[in-house]
Amino acid sequence: MNVGQRMKVYMVEKMISCDKAGYLVSKSKETKLNCREKIGLRIHLVTCLVCRQYASQINDLQHMVYRYKNQYTDGTVVHMLTDETRTSMKETVEKEMTGK
């Protein structure tokens, strides 16, 4: 085998599959990938359209959750108790207070 062939065999052996690539896309959002993971993922993404789309959608997901979270950071209340639950809560608290 010449050097080119040997490299090709080496690359194929080191190639990661889509499941691992998907995992690494996600892991890269939590922690720094090591060199081997980074290179493995990059080579996979060059060759795989579906995983490129996946990676791009996961970026979108990150942005969506960030935007969603920001809807609440100023204390905005979207979900409200029903009047019934609020009243019963109040009664329970009052009962507990006077019980002492």
Partner 1 sequence: MAKGKSHKLDPGRWVDQYADYLFNYAVVRLSDPEKAADVVQETFLSALKGQHTFRGNSTEKTWLTSILKRKIIDIYRKNSSNRESNLQDITDSFEDNDYFDYYGIKKGHWKEEKMPHSNSLMPEGEVENNELREILEKCIAALPENLAAVFVMKMIDDATSEEICKELDITPSNVWVMMHRARLKLRGCIESNWI
Number of residues that bind partner 1 (CB under 8 A): 44
CB of 79 to partner 1, least distance (A): 4
Q: Distance between CA atoms of 14 and 32, rounded to whole angstroms?
A: 20
The C-alpha atoms of residue 89 and residue 28 are separated, in whole angstroms, by: 44
Question: Position 52: which residue type?
Answer: R
**Site string (43-72) toward partner 1, x via CB under 8 A:** -------xxxxx-xxx-xx--xx-xxx-xx
From CA 57, how far away is CA 55, in angstroms rounded?
A: 5
Q: Is 89 in the site for partner 1 (CB under 8 A)?
A: yes
d(CA 45, CA 16): 10
Taking the C-alpha atoms of residue 30 and residue 41, their distance in angstroms, rounded to an integer, is: 15
Question: For partner 1, which is the closer residue by CB, 1 or 66?
Answer: 66
Residues within the interface to partner 1 (CB under 8 A): 17-20, 22-23, 26-27, 29-31, 50-54, 56-58, 60-61, 64-65, 67-69, 71-72, 75-81, 85-86, 89-90, 92-94, 96-97
